[in-house]
Amino acid sequence: MSYLFVGLGNPGERYKNTRHNIGFMVLDYFAKKFNLKFVPKFKGFISYWNNHYFLKPMTFMNYSGESVKEAKSNLKIPEENIIVIHDDLDLKLGDIRIKKGGSNAGHHGLDSISKLIGNNYWRIRIGIGRPADKREVINYVLSPFSKKEMEIVKKVLEVTTEKILEIIQTGEVKNERIFL
C-alpha cells in the first residue's frame, strides 16, 4: 500500500519560508533528511521513497487540486491514502492536528483538492496562528516566519517528519493532536 504525501505551498522564491508554504517546508525537510530528489511531474514536483510518493504542487495554492488529481489518477492512489500537509490559521503555531476529512476552514488549497478528488483524504494541519487584524489574513499567510517563530517551525518540521515516518513504517494514519 502506497501513500501520497502532498505538501501545500506556492512556487517561487517570493513565497519561500512563508506561513502558507509550511507544507512545502515539511516535504523539503523530509527530503533533505532522507536524500530524496524531486522531479517535475503531475503539475508539480514528485519524489518516491520506500514505496510512497511525495508531491509539491506547482499550480499555486488555489489550484493545488489539479496536481493532486493528476497524481492520484496516474499513480492509482485511493483518496484515503492521500495525506495533505498544510497551514492552519485556527491552530496556534506549534500545534499539529492529524485528521481525516472535515471542513476546509476557508483554505483555498483544500477547497481545490476537495472539489476535484473528494473530501475523504487525511490532513496534517500545522498551526500558524492568526493575525491580530482579521483583515490581514492574506498578508499574514504570505509573509515569512520571524526568527523567533522559526525556532518553533524547526521543531514542527522535526515532529511532522517523525509522524510521516511513523505512517510509512506502520501503514496506519490516526487522528492525533500534538502540542509543541
Does the active-site annotation cover 20? yes
Write the CB contacts of 50 (distance below 8 Å, at least 6 apart in sequence). Answer: 168
Grouping H, G, I as helix, E, B as strand and the rest as coil, residue 56 is strand
Q: Rounded to whole angstroms, how far apart are CA atoms 167 and 59?
A: 27
Mean per-residue pLDDT pooled into runs of 10, the chain (180 residues) = 97 96 99 98 98 98 98 98 98 97 93 98 98 93 97 98 98 96
- 82: cell is 492521500
**Active-site position among 20, 52, 86, 107:** 20
- 59: cell is 499550480
pTM comes to: 0.97
β pairing state of 44-49 and 52-57: antiparallel
Name 99's bridge partners.
123
For residue 84, what is the domain's CATH number? 3.40.50.1470
Number of domains in the chain: 1
| pLDDT at site 34 | 97
- Print the domain residue range for 25: 4-179
| pLDDT at site 1 | 86
